[in-house]
Structure 1
């Protein structure tokens, strides 16, 4: 009997999974394996929200495999040691894994290739599992990646996304493959109280709802903070509960301006992955250094983290992050601009805080979006500054989003809710809300001087 191993990483799904599809096709039996990687824990990437969501994903994946006659095998170890132990126990002669773009993923792949080769087990690495298009598939002449999104998007659209694969009908797992108990969300402490449910089942349910309703208005409504008109599919994409390729195809099947705008966001995700694949050091080093000499004011940084800056829209977004482990995309742009350009604090401080809380804390998208906003990344307008007052009037004009997340301001109307410091007398005295940590005009002038703009 031939045995293969499907080593799950960021592809925790049965539908349209090239890794599982190939492993089932190529052997008589397959070991669906997930290793709770000690290396991930040592990097500090194993944050409570993602650990809890991951537990949901693994429980759901195991249930789906059991409906097909199989089961998920879980180990807790160094990923290479764990995989090699399963290969030895089952006599597997091949192991399948999704390609990754981070430095850690590439190191993992090389270590697996060396260790498995020593015992006669072939390693098969599959592209376009985590992204819709493989990083490096489309490149400009003479370069290894696109540094500007628009020309990348034109080539991305022309290249075409691979077809989708059906999930396996049956999965036969060898009896010799033993498993540790599945982790559960209940075991994790420090989880955001409003964290969404994880797993492929929940993701596909949300996807169906999105495709048959809200997506139609996404083109015009995606920046409406109070309307919450985004898909909220990013956590499921991050963990691979949903396939980016399948999302592209199903959105295009529905068609319309909303679908086009949604597909464009999926292309942005691919864009950041191809940048990180070509420049792994961009996870922590400036992609385009600007000579910044960042400030470090502990009180201002803590006010930003706690949602107590005195700027209601910034504070609302930061409190949403703390409560849900997720934040509206417009909010992410605003709070990142406020930290890096208004407070002039190193983008890495913000990126680390996001990774501590975001359930969709993806290294490529998180770090490169932070760099984009900070002006050290791929933004063609690196010195733009988002004004929280203008953003509030434009994207939360009636103040509903602010009142939802900043209850101290719940009694104020749409105009006052964005500038509560303008209240006077007893009205201001009764308001348990801080004064702004910085004057916007002074902060902008400071930033422009630092960047040599004035």
Structure 2
């Protein structure tokens, strides 16, 4: 009787999962395995979301006749133990792009006496390395030519879930203690799990995606899909998301373009794993050591309401609107001239969707040290606020001490009459925008 292991990583779903599909098709019995590795940091927001994903995956596998087997420890050690205990002949795992994932794959492939099958990446629509520049090279460093290739690349049809899973008698540890950091999850954290993700996708496809091109930067309207945490944990397949969204409207095409950016960054990290820590294009920056300003930015008390609203949304929801991510990242790296790595660490701690590729490389893109970037562009938070939150509703939603200030006046509380300004429990700006911009440009050009 042939037994295989289906090693779940960031593919916590039964639908359109090539790894699970192949494991079930090629064996009589399957061990659906997830290993909680204590070496991987799991902050409270991601831990809470992950717990829901694992619970939902276990429910889905039980509906198919199986169950999720959970172990704690080193993934390769636990896989090796199961191989010895149950005579496993094959191990199936999905490819991923981080340095950790690539090292794990190499160690799995070195296990003697077992077939290790690495399936297409779970995190992207186009596998990293499958699209390369015509003139040579292992990855694209400019987005537009990558997008052209990406849009014409063949895409497979999504796979159905297995019809039935048979598992051997295997001991499973509990998966309720998954957090590796102190603190509670964000009070308005989204719910995880494949069923939740599929319901969100259906709602998105049924209408809102058509208006995405015009509404994606509307901060107060929040006309976004909110699918990013599900793409990060693999409760949704990016192949199926693209398949169901289609290209019939301008909004659908623009949404696809944003998914292409995800793939673009993943193929960069797969080719250059060190960019998780190092600048892709170093600019010779000598970043400022400004702990008080960094703390004000983290806590949402910089004195610039649009920046503070974004940072407080992060603390409240474990998520932030993409336009707010750009505004807050530009403010830290260019107006305050603080190292992008400090911002990336904070986002990694709180964002439920913060994978290494998108988090680190988007930060570098804003900081001007990444690929396909405008290194000296500084986003003016006041101009961004007037353009993308003209009524001030986004700020009032997340900065309650300013909720009585009407309209666009909420973006410049320092211009209120003196008695009203003194009555506010809101800080003064930590920096003058013109001074910050000049300081950054002088340092960068030097």
TM-score (norm 1): 0.96
What is aligned with 1:225? Answer: 219
**Contact 1:53–1:185 (CA<8 Å) still a contact in 2?**
no
Q: Which runs of 5+ in 2 are unaligned?
A: none
TM-superposition CA deviations, 1:213-267 (whole Å, max 9, x none): 21110010000000010100000000000000111111116x2111101111111
Displacement, 1:128?
A: 3.6
Q: Is the 8 A contact 2:43 2:179 kept in 1?
A: no
CA shift digits 1:320-373 (9 cap, x unpaired): 000110000000000000000000000000000000001001100000000000
Q: After superposition, what is the alpha-carbon deviation per residue over 1:386-436, rounded to whole angstroms, capped at 9, x for unaligned?
A: 111000000000000000000011001122100001112211111110000
**Partner in structure 1 of residue 106 of structure 2:** 110
Does the 8 Å CA contact 2:34/2:71 hold for their aligned counterparts?
Answer: yes
Asked if 1:303 corresponds to 2:299, the answer is no
Structure 1 residue 59: Cα displacement? 0.3
Separation of aligned partners in 1, 2:391 and 2:437: 26
Rounded to whole Å, the distance in 2 between the matches of 1:186 and 1:18 is: 28
Q: Classify the secondary structure of the residue corresponding to 1:39.
A: coil
CA distance 1:186–1:298, shift in 2 (3 Å): closer
Deviation of residue 82 (structure 1)?
1.0
* Equivalent position of 2:324 in the other structure: 331
Cα distance in 2 for partners of 1:429, 1:159 equals 59
Q: 1:333 is paired with a residue of what secondary structure?
A: helix
Aligned to 2:373: 380
List per-residue Cα deviations over 1:96-147 (Å, max 9, x = no partner): 0010111111111111111x22xx1111111142211110111112211000
What residue number does 2:418 align with? Answer: 425
Give the deviation of 1:378 after TM superposition. Answer: 1.3
Structure 2 distance, partners of 1:452, 1:122, is 54
Output aligned runs, 1:39-58, within 5 Å.
Answer: 39-40=39-40, 45-58=41-54
Cα distance in 2 for residues equivalent to 1:6 and 1:257: 39
Q: Does 1:247 align with 2:230?
A: no
The equivalent residue for 2:266 is 273
Deviations 1:260-307 (CA, angstroms, capped at 9, x unpaired): 011111111000000000110000100000000000111100000000
Task: Tell me the residue number matched to 2:442.
Answer: 449
The question of 1:179 aligning with 2:175 is answered: no
Which is worse superposed, 78-87 or 340-349?
78-87
Q: Which residue of 2 aligns with 1:393?
A: 386
List aligned pairs for 1:105-144, cutoff 5 A: 105-114=101-110, 116-117=111-112, 120-140=113-133, 141-144=135-138
TM-score computed with the length of structure 2 as normaliser = 0.98
Is residue 2:334 matched to residue 1:341?
yes
Distance 1:186 1:353, change over 3 A: closer
Quote the offset at 1:189 in angstroms.
Answer: 4.4
Aligned to 1:193: 187
Give how far 1:198 is off: 0.5
Does residue 99 (structure 1) correspond to residue 95 (structure 2)? The answer is yes
Deviations 1:177-229 (A, max 9, x none): 21112326899842111111101011001111111121110010000000010
**C-alpha distance in 2, partners of 1:372/1:101?**
19
Q: Which runs of 5+ in 1 are unaligned?
A: none
**Paired residue for 2:5?**
5
User: Contact between 1:206 and 1:233, CA under 8 Å: does it hold in 2?
Assistant: yes
Asked if 1:152 is matched to 2:157, the reply is: no
Count of paired positions? 444
Q: Which aligned segments of 4 or more residues in structure 1 are displaced greater than 6 angstroms?
A: 184-188
CA contact (8 A) 1:2 1:28 kept: yes
- Residues 77-108 of structure 1 show CA distances to partners (whole Å, capped at 9, x for unaligned) of 11111111122222110000010111111111
Answering whether residue 309 of structure 2 is matched by residue 316 of structure 1, we say: yes
